[in-house]
Amino acid sequence: MLLGGAINKSFSTVDGPGVRFIVFTQGCAMRCTFCSNPDTWAVHGGEMVSSKDVASQVRRGRQALADARLLPSSAPVHVCGLRVCGQAIRRVLPYLKSSHGGLTCSGGEPLLQPQFTAALFREAHAMGLTTTLDTTGQGTKHKNWDVVLPHTDGVLFCIKSLDPDKYLSMTGLKQLGALRFAAELAERGIPFWARYVLIPGHTDSDRDVGLFADWAVQQPTLAGVELLPYHLYGKNKWEALGLKYPLEGVPTPAPEEVKSVVERLRGAGLRVLCEGMAKSELSGAHTGAHS
């Protein structure tokens, strides 16, 4: 049993295939201006509990998981905070297997805790579950990749921006590390979904979308694109932490703008999924070079 710095866990149907048991880890090197979880930045944080305590919380959350399975696009159903080990996952194993789901490690940045993340993934594989890494690919050493990626079935990779200057101003880190991580996924043959946050005035210009599309079509293991319209869900966390919200006054993108970007990406031959859009509107997204 290996415990690590996770601050939350939940069930979800939007963080990988099927219903997912999600672990949110503590610690992130990036300082994204649109971050929804600034409480995960600090390397030290969260609360340590035993796997038995976590398992009892999970048992009480079984019905929430069963309900989440029925939703076409469900936000995570929070069960409890804190840290988790593989023993807790066994409590909901039938639900995860029946949906062809599994375990997703998110954050924060799970690659900052490679031993913990790898241990969870090994537990998941031993139970016949798939593993998904939700990552920026940033702020970690190559040796961390060597620990985690051999146990990773798929990756959710948020690329932020393909403009180097914008990337730096939006995240506090240089873009090169993210591009190197994408190259590593290609070298290892690991499929990934590229996540792109559409922020009015920041990542939504013709040039921004074009740079992203040009990069995406060149990725040999790309499974598809997940377009994420900017939202304000995390603003209250900034305020609760006494932090000034960097994107104050920035609106959420209009539905017609989101649809236009989806169509442009589809036109480039990319498979596209998008929060808040009906499946009928996305029906054309499953054809093209990367379907």
81-121: per-residue pLDDT in tens? 334 444 455 555 555 565 567 788 888 898 998 888 888 88
What domains are defined for the chain? 1-158 (3.20.20.70), 159-291 (3.20.20.70)
Q: Which residues pair with 31 in a beta bridge?
A: none
208-256: per-residue pLDDT in tens? 999 999 999 999 999 999 999 999 988 989 999 999 999 999 999 999 9
pTM, full prediction? 0.78
Both structure tokens of 179: 């591009």
pLDDT at 43: 76
Both structure tokens of 58: 């999970």
